[in-house]
A and B are shown apart, each in its own frame.
Chain A
Amino acid sequence: MRSWAVALILVIAIAGLFISNIKVVSLIKGSHYVKDISGNGNDVNCSACHKHVAEEMAITRALHGPHWDLTCEDCHRYNGTGISFATANSSGVFPGKQAHAAYVPSCLDCHGGKGAWIVNASGVLVHAPPARTFNVTTTVNYRNVTVISSIPNATAHKQFVAYCEKMGDENLACLACHTNYSINISFSYPDYIYVDILNWTFTTSTQISSTYKVYNVSYVKNSIFSGKHVFLPLKDINCSKCHENIYLGLINGKHAPIYIASKWPVYNFWGFYRYHGLTYYGTPLNTSWINNTYCDECHYCVNVTLTNYTTGVTYTFRNPFTAAAKGLVHCAEKVSCYTCHHRNSTYWWLDPYYAIVNMSSSTVAYDHENLINATAVNYPRFVHGDICMACHEAAYHNGQCGSECHVGNQAVTQYTEP
């Protein structure tokens, strides 16, 4: 019996040898098995060669991030650009014109203008929303079309997008925030401002440091490939990751008055809890409070929600005058303290003190108003906060005004913070 088994194995082995010998004749096995692509869908499996991209898209689906329900073809054979792709279906064979199989899309192909309607993987028509304010970019220049960008000045990331446009790939700006693509940023800003205060008016010797300090941010995101196809849900885009210096500035009480002076009531003049204060100076700060929602209080302020400290009732005010409310901002508005805290501010109803500025009835010429106005007119936006925070940092302004500013006519060096 054993002999029969050996014999059988031998015969099978020989037969296998014959079969395998047949294959070696062809230079590339399978090269004559040309796929039938006459079906009405895409008969070439993109994932076969781009498995890692498919794995990243699987992560996107798990996160339920943007594009989670789209197919490869929805983006890379998008039919809204005028590009004709090679197509073979029951209607016939149509050669590709501008592209054969796929193109590298610009995010704004779908998210420019008024957005686009796309049939997703489930056959459902879904809307790709316009990338507010960045959707005014006409097109990308790798197609030899002149780029005309009209991004509003109030948009904080305008320069980033505009720079990428000039490079010929504004997608980079999108990838930086909306995907797992990593980003390292070197921020350079003047080391300090030097102020001579004479009767509460800046003198001509006020100057901005010509020496710059650099803050490096390294935001390495986990990815199995390039990260470009892991699209993050909006809630997972963390301002603090790229703006770590600002985050630290907040914690240290130097970017905005996040701390409330102990002598100040937690509520303000109108009986509401203070807008951007999070805790009393000297008390522990829960850093999780510094999140996108907190950033938006100033940088994307469409609505202001306040709580009356006595009644506990919450009021939401809409200010239609902000650039954000006007739709002139993508995700963050360029602001300074002056934006809200000056006499003509559209936030006047939030700031009964006009940010320490005396009312127009003031007869005192050498008050803080001079400082604020002189700052706003004569000195660039990025030092406004530094001047304000010279007093307000770490809630120093707790009624003890005998600081170096109030000793007399002083030369003050204020180191800049993000």
Chain B
Amino acid sequence: MDYGKAVLITIIVFALGVIVLPNTVSLFAGEHYWYNLSYNKTVPCVKCHADVYEELKLSAHRNLRCEDCHRANKSITYASVSGSYTNVTPGKEAHAASCVACMLCHQINASHASRVPGPYAGGFNVTLFGVTSSYNYSNSTYNGICEAHNSLVAHAIAKANNSSLLLDSTEACLSCHADIEVKMNFNVSTGMNVYAKDVVLGYNATTGINESEVEITGLYITDFKNVTEVKLS
């Protein structure tokens, strides 16, 4: 065996070790080093969610902590240690963290529901589409009746209500406000059919002639075309 092959085999063994060893070592090293959660200390989420951490660092939410969103729901009792280990609150609806809908913090009067309310988004109305949400999207002042994306938001809610995907309208929010890839299929009308017919109106003293006009008897949106849009992240 020449020198080069020996080096190569060494590197391969080392590389495989890099993959295997962390899992192996973690079984032993540190498993008895318990995090001290007393006085509301938290588990370092970043340990498992480094990707989220990296995104968050560049995000408009960069000043928020993980728990500001994921332990923010006032209707959920999370497991916590408020004082020493003798003052423990077991988790009820959630232990460590809950999935969160954007509207938890960005709905009207979010302070009723969120421990860290953000600015109200406003300008949406999902009831126009017959959709109900547990979050407050609109009221008489912020009625959102002109918003172009109401349909997107409403359908995101409807879909989320029947699936395990992101809560409420979160996917719709993210599609614009986050750097995610979005694929949309638009079914758009490209034309119309118009039906016109000559009709008699009768003598008009102002014009001095017997008037007629071309009456529109029907107008239909037609020629729908499927177009796919892809927003790249």
> Which residues of A are in contact with B by a Cβ distance under 8 Å?
1-4, 6-7, 10-11, 14, 17-18, 22-23, 25-38, 44, 48-52, 76, 81, 83-86, 88, 93, 95-104, 143-144, 153, 158-160, 162-164, 167, 172, 176, 181-190, 208, 212, 220, 223, 225-227, 334, 336, 338, 344, 376-384
**Shortest beta-carbon distance from B192 to chain A in Å:** 6
Contacts of A81 in B (CB 8 A): 146
Complex contact A29–B233 (CB within 8 A): yes
Contacts of B190 in A (CB 8 A): 181-182, 223, 225-227
What 3 pairs between A and B have smallest CB-CB spacing? A96-B123, A95-B122, A100-B123
Q: What are the residues of chain B within 8 A of A88 when measuring CB–CB?
A: 119
Q: A31-B180, A100-B123 are in contact. Are A188 and B196 (CB under 8 A)?
A: yes
B43 CB–A CB distance under 8 Å:
no
Bound complex: CA A203 to CA B89 (Å): 101
Kindly list chain A residues whose C-beta atoms are within 8 Å of the C-beta of B12: 7, 10
Q: B51 in the interface, Cβ–Cβ < 8 Å? A: yes
Interface contact B7-A28, CB-CB below 8 Å = no
- Total contacting residues, chain B, CB less than 8 A: 86
Known: A23-B51, A25-B51, A223-B190. Is A34-B178 also a contact (CB below 8 A)? yes
B21 at the interface (CB under 8 A from A): no
Query: Closest residue to B165 on the A side, CB-wise?
Result: A27
Q: Give the residues in chain B near A377, CB-CB below 8 Å.
A: 203, 208-210
What chain A residues lie within 8 Å of B171 (beta carbons)? 28
Give A269 to B181 CA distance when docked, in angstroms: 74
Q: Let me know if B147 and A7 touch, CB within 8 A.
A: no
Cβ-closest chain B residue relative to A76:
B148
Chain B positions 164-190 with a Cβ under 8 Å from a chain A Cβ: 166, 171, 174-182, 184, 186, 188-190
Instruction: Indicate if the CB atoms of A186 and B124 lie closer than 8 Å.
Output: no
Could you tell me the distance between the alpha carbons of A160 and B197 in the complex, rounded to whole angstroms? 11
List A contacts of B222 (CB < 8 A): 184
Q: Say whether B19 contacts A380, CB under 8 Å.
A: no
Contact, CB under 8 Å: B166 / A160: no
Contacts A100-B124, A381-B209; A33 near B176 (Cβ below 8 A): no
Indicate which residue in A7, A27, A380 contacts B7 across the interface (CB closer than 8 Å): A7
B93 touches A (CB below 8 Å): no
- Inter-chain contacts of B197 with A (CB < 8 A): 187-189, 212
Interface centre among B60, B166, B198 (most CB of A within 10 A): B198
A104 to B152, CA, bound (A): 14
Bound-complex Cα distance A2 to B60 (A): 47
CB within 8 A of B119: which of A35, A95, A336, A382?
A95
- Please tell me if B27 contacts chain A, counting CB pairs below 8 Å: no
Complex-state Cα separation, A101 to B124, whole angstroms: 9
The answer to whether B68 has its CB under 8 Å from any CB of chain A is no
Residues of B within 8 A of A158 (CB): 213
Query: Which single residue of chain B is at the shortest CB-CB distance from A219?
Result: B191
Residues of the A chain whose Cβ atoms lie less than 8 Å from the Cβ of B211: 153, 380-381
Determine whether the beta carbon of B149 is less than 8 Å from that of A35: no
A6 closest partner in B (C-beta): B8
Closest to A384 in B: B209
In the assembled complex, the Cα of A86 lies from the Cα of B176 at a distance in Å of 13
